[in-house]
Structure 1
Amino acid sequence: MTDATDEEIRELLDVETIAVIGCSATPGKAAHDVPAYLQRQGYDIIPVNPNRDEVLGRTAVDSLDDVSGHVDLVDVFRPSEEVSRIVDAALKRHQRHDDLDGIWLQRGIRDDAAAARARDAGLIVVQDRCLKVEHGRLG
């Protein structure tokens, strides 16, 4: 299975804390506007961006490994070529902390092999869909 069902997406929309890989400080970019929207909807957004100290009023961390608190969902705004490495980091976190429900790959981002590894580990994976759009549709 390569695509998440609406039921799985609804489950991910019910999370509290989202680590956003590639979160941008530049308004007008999807990697800024989508997390900002989610933050306004009440989600706790953890920006992951090694090039920024702060994004969306929150301290940015360099990598998923640097997130000290609970994470429910990893939302990815990085090229498809980077997904495998990001999924590997998410799976390591899932094994160590058992606090991850899913991985969301934003519009235009897809890696079927990495998604299969994450699903095999029990995570919900959404590929090539906008979290903001799906929140509006199903939330």
Structure 2
Amino acid sequence: MKNPSDQRIKEILHTKKRIAVVGLSNNPDRTSYMVSKAMQDAGYTIIPINPNVDTVLGEKSYASISDLDQEVDMVNIFRRSEFLPELAKETVQAGIPIFWSQLGVVSEEAYSFLQENHVETIMDRCIKVEHAKFK
């Protein structure tokens, strides 16, 4: 597994502003909430993907990637690594061009599938940390 260059990650963060966040909790103490709130405050549109909540951060939540009825630039994953292969399939089916998984979330199977389907893939990186690096 190989992430894009820092320069490419910077380009992604400067141009891709609509992020579907899989596993976004409505609990302000959870990392997914804190990271997504920081990204929202930085000007990104956050679209929650969580079947257990109706809204998060003032945005309507969707049950799954497949249920999205709006375009997004990327998915940001806050689920355990074993869920990545299925989420990768949903991402490809939805035509979303960028797949990003948070720190510690990695799957070689998902990575290979995403590469075969020409989805730009970033794994094991915190989007908030990367964003702070490239402000």
Q: Is the TM value for this pair above 0.5?
A: yes
Paired residues for 1:53-68 under 5 Å: 53-68=54-69
Paired residues for 1:1-139 under 5 Å: 1-13=1-13, 14-94=15-95, 100-139=96-135
CA distance in 2, matches of 1:8, 1:121: 19
**Which has the larger displacement, 6-15 or 25-34?**
6-15
* RMSD of aligned residue pairs (Cα, Å): 1.1
Structure 1 residue 112 displacement after superposition: 1.6
CA distance in 2, matches of 1:30, 1:73: 19
Runs of 4+ in 1 over 4 A off after TM superposition: none
CA distance in 2, matches of 1:67, 1:7: 29
Counterpart amino acid of residue 3 in structure 1: N
Structure 1 residue 87 displacement after superposition: 0.3
Change (3 A) 1:8 1:124: farther
CA distance in 2, matches of 1:112, 1:4: 15
CA distance in 2, matches of 1:93, 1:7: 26
CA distance in 2, matches of 1:85, 1:50: 16
Structure 1 residue 4 displacement after superposition: 2.2
Q: Return the TM-score normalized by structure 2.
A: 0.94
Counterpart amino acid of residue 2 in structure 1: K
Q: Which structure 2 residue ranges, 5 or more long, are not aligned?
A: none
CA distance in 2, matches of 1:111, 1:72: 21
Counterpart amino acid of residue 91 in structure 2: A
Structure 1 residue 59 displacement after superposition: 1.0
Structure 1 residue 45 displacement after superposition: 0.5
Aligned to 1:97: none
